[in-house]
Amino acid sequence: MPKNAKAGRKPVITVARSEHDRLLAFANTIAAQNPDASEELLLELERARVVNDDRVPEDVVRIGSSVTFEPDTGETRTVTLVYPGEADISVGKVSVLTPIGTALLGLAPGQSIGWTARDGRRHELHILSVAAPPAESRQQSSGEAA
């Protein structure tokens, strides 16, 4: 794992402006009923490099992206990052509000990050590859009609 994950420093992340705005509003909305998830998401959004939607590299994890990563267990996993209402772990759809979903947001291949599970255990993951979300998913995130 690269030094940044082991030293506790988080890597630079990139988030599309439309997703940043939507996730910021969402995090503030859920703060009362889910303060831990809200706080983690707000912290990630605060440190994100926010760019115009058309400037987000194709290999950056965003809502709708399929991401292959290697967790500290060593078992390679592929999941799709989604909004909470679309989450279904049985088909690999992980909510951005889960600890691992929040950790994945904005990362690119080669980056690693440490994250804390709901049970308090610390984990590390390393991004292997990212497939861009389908065009209709990107349009929905930015509020455009599909």
Domain boundary assignment for the chain: 3-135
Parallel/antiparallel/unpaired status of strands 77-82 and 66-71: antiparallel
Residue 62 CB partners (closer than 8 Å, separation 6+): 15, 16, 19, 56, 81, 105, 106, 132, 133, 138, 141
CATH of domain 3-135: 3.10.50.30
H or E segment to which residue 23 belongs: helix 17-29
E-strand stretches of 42-143: 49-51, 66-71, 77-82, 93-95, 112-116, 122-131
User: Residue 107: what residue type?
Assistant: L
> How do the pLDDT tens digits run along the chain, 146 residues long?
444 445 568 999 999 999 999 999 999 999 999 999 999 999 999 999 999 999 999 999 999 999 999 999 889 999 999 999 999 999 999 999 999 999 999 999 999 999 999 999 999 999 999 999 987 554 555 454 33
- Give the pTM: 0.86
